[in-house]
Amino acid sequence: MAITRKPKAATAPDERAVQELISKGGTIATPPGEQANQQLTSVLLRIPADMLARIDASVKRRLPVRISRQSWIIEALQEQLARESNDI
């Protein structure tokens, strides 16, 4: 039978520090160009499987911070709309 020492009790975190962290709060991240008070509408989008695979590959290559597929698509749509508005 192996003999081991009694484990030390874990020290509790400083309650004041925990409350300061909680009360500091934060903001909710929004995709680039999107305002928090903007009304959103759901849209069903059907795209070819190979195009979706290319989008996913592009999303995965995005470093240092990856974004969601939805954010990538919205960003691409915004870029296209900006190009079209410059052509007018």
pLDDT of residue 36: 61
Residue 24: its pLDDT value, please? 80
pLDDT per position as a tens digit, 9-53:
777 778 888 888 778 877 666 666 556 667 889 999 999 999 999
- Judge whether 25 and 19 are in contact, CB under 8 Å: no
Question: For the residues of the chain, what is the DSSP string, one character each?
Answer: ----PPPPPPPPPPHHHHHHHHHH-------TT--TTPPP--------HHHHHHHHHHHHH--SS---HHHHHHHHHHHHHHHHHHH-
C-alpha span between 75 and 85 (Å, rounded): 15
Which residue did the predictor score with more confidence, 87 or 62? Answer: 62
Does the pTM surpass 0.85? The reply is no
